[in-house]
């Protein structure tokens, strides 16, 4: 049996065809052709008005926050259960990330904790849609409106997720996406800033081009120091092919999750990514969380998967526990989750037999603990 990897991209002939065309012809007058096409296609898929392709989701967050005026002395609230890429851009701008607890079922930002953390220094709320799971956008947007604070969506992991029929990343002041090679759709590396706010879009567009305002009559004239997070036309060519296939890519991710869920959610003490009745989960990363009563630990899970020649990915550590932050916060849910959770392999061309091998490991771990 071959090793089962936790993720790999779905790329084929269409991506190769577009990439070759970009290599051979995407220069001079055509140097931004695929880039513009990719931005328009992705914005259309989301139902957003504007999109700017970037070199990473981190870059999209950095520029979007800068355009909102986040700076020294400001605070941005986010869940303590997250990857550092969500918090890092806050620090780039001299602001402080404020970590609050997450909900036990969605593992996403707890609105009540957000409300309690708001103070005069609060500049934004960062809603991270973890593993495809959705933050409670109704509650967060209401809080943002009440206090006059923008809600930002980090939808890096939420391509295909929807809240009340609207795409994740299209509900807040702006959304940021990732096209890293592990994601539902990919450009190898890369990201996207999206918004329907024209003024915000224009500020980010200027920031993204070293502070040069579009239409300026002076060539190579920046009005202020900006950024350089531009995606290449070659990457965008791959992105164009992926956008054409996006519904297929999302459907396959959801089918993989459903196969796991039918076998695993019937087991005692096992929970997986939730999908509220009014939402759709893109299920980027199928995740199993075991109840504390099972006695199952992250270390036991990793060992069991390694023995079966299967990649297993650990649940995110609380950001406040990392050495660069190392702050004392009261977030019991965020600290309880990672020690009894694991991300399951979910690449697009997994077979039923591959998934059965993964399922067998979970069942064996439960049997070893006398739970089956």
Q: What is residue 289's predicted lDDT score, i.e. its pLDDT?
A: 97
Q: Is 113 exposed, middle or buried (0-12, 13-18, 19+ CB in 10 A)?
A: buried
The CATH number given to whatever domain includes residue 33 is 3.40.640.10
Question: Is residue 23 a part of any domain in this protein?
Answer: yes
Rounded to the nearest 5°, which phi and psi values hold at 22? -65, -40
Structural domain for 62, as ranges: 13-244
- Same structural domain, 222 and 339: no
In terms of residues, how long is the chain? 372
Q: Quick check: helix, strand or coil at residue 313?
A: strand
Same structural domain for residues 215 and 348?
no
Q: Residue 194 corresponds to which tokens in the numbers above? A: 């999206």
Q: What is the pLDDT of residues 231-270, one digit of tens each?
A: 999 999 999 999 999 999 999 999 999 999 999 999 999 9
- Verify that 34 and 98 share a domain, yes or no: yes
Q: In the predicted model, is pLDDT for residue 130 greater than 80?
A: yes
The total of other beta-carbon atoms located within 10 Å of residue 291's CB is 13
Record the tokens describing residue 225, joined without a space: 């120091």
Residues 232 and 279 in one domain: no
Among 220, 244, 268, the domain boundary falls at 244
Question: Among the three residues 194, 224, 244, which one is the final residue of a domain in this structure?
Answer: 244
Give residue 333's pLDDT band: very low, low, confident or very high (50, 70, 90): very high
Angle made by CA atoms 52, 57, 63, in degrees to the nearest 5: 60
Listed in sequence order, the residues at least 6 apart from 172 whose beta carbon sits closer than 8 Å to its beta carbon are: 127, 137, 141, 144, 150, 151, 152, 153
> Is 7 a domain residue?
no
| Predicted confidence (pLDDT) per residue in 135-163, tens digit | 999 999 999 999 999 999 999 999 999 99
CA dist 311 and 309 (Å) reads 7
CATH of the domain at 347: 3.90.1150.10
pTM: predicted TM-score of the whole model, two decimal places: 0.96
Shared-domain flag, residues 216 and 310:
no
* Same domain flag for 162 and 254: no
Q: Are 53 and 107 found together in one domain?
A: yes
Question: Residue ranges of the alpha helices (H) in 269-371?
Answer: 298-307, 332-336, 352-368
CB 363 within 8 A of CB 23: no
From 36-50, 81-95, 149-163, 358-372, the region with the lowest mean pLDDT: 358-372
Helix (H) or strand (E) holding 342: strand 341-343
């Amino acid at each position: 049996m071959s090793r089962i990897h936790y993720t790999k991209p779905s790329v084929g002939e269409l991506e190769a065809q577009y990439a070759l065309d970009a290599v051979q012809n995407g220069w001079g007058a055509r140097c931004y052709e695929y880039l513009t096409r990719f931005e328009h296609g992705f914005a259309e898929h989301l139902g957003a008005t504007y999109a700017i392709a970037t070199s990473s989701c981190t870059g999209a967050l950095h520029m979007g926050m800068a355009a909102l005026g986040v700076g020294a002395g400001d605070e941005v609230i986010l869940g303590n259960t997250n990857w550092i890429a969500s918090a890092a851009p806050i620090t780039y701008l001299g602001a402080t990330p404020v970590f609050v607890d997450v909900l036990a079922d969605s593992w996403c930002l707890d609105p009540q904790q957000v409300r309690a953390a708001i103070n005069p220094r609060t500049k934004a709320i960062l809603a991270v849609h973890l593993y495809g799971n959705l933050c409670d956008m109704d509650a967060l947007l209401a809080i943002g409106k009440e206090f006059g604070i923008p809600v930002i969506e980090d939808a890096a992991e939420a391509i295909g997720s929807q809240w009340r029929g609207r795409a994740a990343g299209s509900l807040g002041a702006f959304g940021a996406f990732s096209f890293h090679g592990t994601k539902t759709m990919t450009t190898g590396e890369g990201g996207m800033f999206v918004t329907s706010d024209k003024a915000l879009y224009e500020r980010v567009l200027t920031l993204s081009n070293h502070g040069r305002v579009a239409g300026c009559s002076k060539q190579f004239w920046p009005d202020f120091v900006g950024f350089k997070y531009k995606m290449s036309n070659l990457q965008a060519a791959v992105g164009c092919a992926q956008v054409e296939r996006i519904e297929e890519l999302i459907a396959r991710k959801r089918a993989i999750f459903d196969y796991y869920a039918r076998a695993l959610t019937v087991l005692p003490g096992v929970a997986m990514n939730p999908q509220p009745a009014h939402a759709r989960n893109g299920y980027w990363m199928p995740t199993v969380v075991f109840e504390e009563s099972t006695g199952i630990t992250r270390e036991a899970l990793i060992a069991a998967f390694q023995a079966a020649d299967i990649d297993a990915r650990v649940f995110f550590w609380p950001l406040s526990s990392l050495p660069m932050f190392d702050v004392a916060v009261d977030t019991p849910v965020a600290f309880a989750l990672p020690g009894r959770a694991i991300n399951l392999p979910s690449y697009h061309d997994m077979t039923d037999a591959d998934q059965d091998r993964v399922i067998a490991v979970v069942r064996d771990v439960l049997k070893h603990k006398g739970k089956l």
